[in-house]
Amino acid sequence: MTLEADLLAAFPAEVRIPARLVADAVAASSAETPRMLVVLDDDPTGTQSVADLPVLTRWDVEDFIWAFGQAKPAVYVLTNTRSLDPAEAAARNEEVVRNALAAASGTDSGLRLGFVSRSDSTLRGHYPLEPDVIAATVAEVSGEATDGVVMVPAFPDAGRVTISGVHYTRGTGNDAGKLTPAAETEFAKDASFGYANSELAKYVEEKSKGRFAAGSVIVLDLNIIRAGAASAGTAENPDGDPAVSAVISAHAIADAIEPATNSTPIVADIVTENDLRALSLGLEEAERRGKKLLYRVGPPFGRARIGQEIRTELSGAEAYAGNTPSEAGGLIVVGSHVGVTTRQLKALTEQHSAARIVEIDVEKLLAAETETAADVYLNQTVDTVVEALRGGDVIVHTSRLLIKTDDAAESLRIARTVSAAVVAVVNRTLKTFPPRFVIAKGGITSSDVAAHGLEIRHAIVRGPMLPGIVSLWEPVDGPAKGIPYIVFAGNVGDDQSLADVTRKLSNTF
């Protein structure tokens, strides 16, 4: 028996809940006053689990008015705060929330907003700073206090699950199926956002520096999430009706949340999509009872919370639907340095022999004595990329030697310098010889390439390029309009995933 099977043996089976049941509950609550979730996404990879929703890389009031006009249940706002220092991240969160509330107040329907702080499924990011700022801003603008902050980092599609309050990552390849506590993975050693605890209640205490004691955290374990599963054959649910089971679970979850007040942290066990849907119904019920909640979550939460079906992966033809693909090569940009990305890059370069490989030498870039010297180097890189695109796909990657420092602020500065170089190469290439498609690998990389390299302001996320992971955006304005843009997180997929996505889009692979 595997560790996961052993752990799950102590709990009821999942309650099977169709997405439509959640969507109907959300629609019922929005019958009189429409409600929309505003997802503040700290890097663009949070969209990988959803489809057909608007995405913003700017957040002026006018941008929100455009997004609200799409009449969708959620909008994703690319804040990219994981690349910022705490003060900058706080200011950006506040600005987004203020502008969203201002735009909503100007709508004829009196749109109600819910706020989601979307972050990393491996627990990296500005926590508890971001939900704190969102809660404080909402209170200042609307007078509405937050009762609870619900933490759901789980991402089952990518192998991140929470059981008995402990967050795990599933292995891939030779380690397939193996569960490793998150604090024992490479992600916990992150120079800017490292942590020591895999048990989420203790993680909350650690990151809040004791402001929230572990014992004060409400833990929604699988006994609560799956309460309805144990009801089959009882007087409450004699026929084992799944709809009745879902309602029983929803009420158990809402009951457990009832004591929350003053931003009480609430953590949830999640192993499957059905668990996420059960949780969503419970949160809907808690809010119906009057609880005011914020969410700090991994990518699939938004999909489950609005009752969206899991979108099947897009084909190459669907990726280009409505647009005529260019005969130029595609541009694959790799910035992430986590182990899985390096392995994916290796697999792609070995298999795609027709692709030209161009390396951005990070040491050379950082050693440039003047901005002019750095600019000359980048222009030479662009010339190489453009010439290669005329004949096929080009893989642009930063040198694989990761320059480390013990100073978190200096680590972010280096990351930004490297990202700015990548952005410059993409932007100058786009305006010289637009590629057939663009794939960006890595959180900060894909954010900066979207907002600055491709100058995307508004987009629609069309859906995933691989099951549950890796999203395709369709830019609706700017110089990249008509070019499929693939947002590929650094820490997802197996060793073949980057090659698989490239193969779908390429005309030379």
Half-sphere exposure of 283 (CA within 13 A, CB side): 31
pLDDT at residue 400, as a whole number: 58
pLDDT at residue 446, as a whole number: 87
Beta-strand pair 53-56/74-78:
parallel
pLDDT at residue 75, as a whole number: 98
pLDDT at residue 106, as a whole number: 81
Q: CA-CA distance, 301 to 295, in Å (whole number)?
A: 9
Of 130, 299, 319, the C-alpha closest to 207 is 130
The overall pTM is greater than 0.85: yes
Q: CA-CA distance, 228 to 236, in Å (whole number)?
A: 10
Q: CA-CA distance, 143 to 131, in Å (whole number)?
A: 16
Q: CA-CA distance, 40 to 37, in Å (whole number)?
A: 9
Contact 350, 445 (CB under 8 A): no
pLDDT at residue 416, as a whole number: 74
Longest distance between any two alpha carbons in the chain, whole Å: 77
Other CB atoms within 10 A of residue 14 CB: 20
Residue count of the chain: 509
Q: CA-CA distance, 411 to 190, in Å (whole number)?
A: 10
Other CB atoms within 10 A of residue 354 CB: 11
> What are the residue boundaries of the structural domains of the chain, listed by start?
3-305, 316-505
Q: CA-CA distance, 280 to 440, in Å (whole number)?
A: 31
| Domain 316-505 CATH superfamily | Four-carbon acid sugar kinase, nucleotide binding domain (3.40.980.20)
Would you state the structure tokens that stand for residue 90, as one six-digit string? 């706080």
pLDDT at residue 85, as a whole number: 92
Query: Which residues have CB under 8 Å from 322's CB, separation 6+?
Result: none
CATH topology for 3-305 is: Rossmann fold (3.40.50)
Would you state the structure tokens that stand for residue 440, as one six-digit string? 């960006």
- Provide the 8-state DSSP code for 453: I
Q: CA-CA distance, 454 to 338, in Å (whole number)?
A: 24
Helices assigned H by DSSP within 368-476: 371-389, 408-432, 443-448
SS3 at position 198: coil
Would you state the structure tokens that stand for residue 500, as one six-digit string? 């698989």
Can you give the pLDDT of all 509 residues of the chain as single tens digits? 688 989 999 999 999 999 999 999 999 998 888 899 999 999 878 898 999 999 999 999 999 999 999 999 999 999 989 988 999 999 999 999 999 999 999 877 679 999 999 999 999 999 999 999 999 999 999 999 999 999 999 999 889 999 999 999 998 767 777 899 999 999 999 988 999 999 999 999 999 999 999 999 999 999 999 999 877 667 788 767 888 999 999 999 999 999 999 999 999 999 999 999 999 999 999 999 999 999 999 999 999 999 999 999 999 999 999 888 888 999 999 987 778 888 999 999 999 999 999 998 887 887 777 788 888 989 999 999 999 999 999 999 887 565 566 776 777 677 777 878 889 999 999 999 999 999 999 887 888 899 999 999 999 999 999 988 899 999 998 999 999 999 998 888 899 999 999 999 999 99
Of 284, 298, 338, the C-alpha closest to 17 is 284
Of 88, 25, 92, 90, the C-alpha closest to 58 is 92
pLDDT at residue 1, as a whole number: 66
Q: What are phi and psi of 253, to 5 degrees?
A: -65, -45
Beta bridge partners of 479: none
Burial of residue 420 (number of CB atoms within 10 Å: 0-12, 13-18, 19+): middle
pLDDT at residue 215, as a whole number: 98
Would you state the structure tokens that stand for residue 437, as one six-digit string? 């498609």
For 70, 110, 292, the CA distances from 102, given in Å and listed in that order, are 17, 11, 19
pLDDT at residue 243, as a whole number: 85
Q: CA-CA distance, 316 to 505, in Å (whole number)?
A: 5
Of 133, 504, 135, the C-alpha closest to 321 is 504
Beta bridge partners of 100: none
User: Rounded to 10 degrees, what is the CA torsion of 277, 279, 282, 284?
Assistant: -60
pLDDT at residue 293, as a whole number: 98
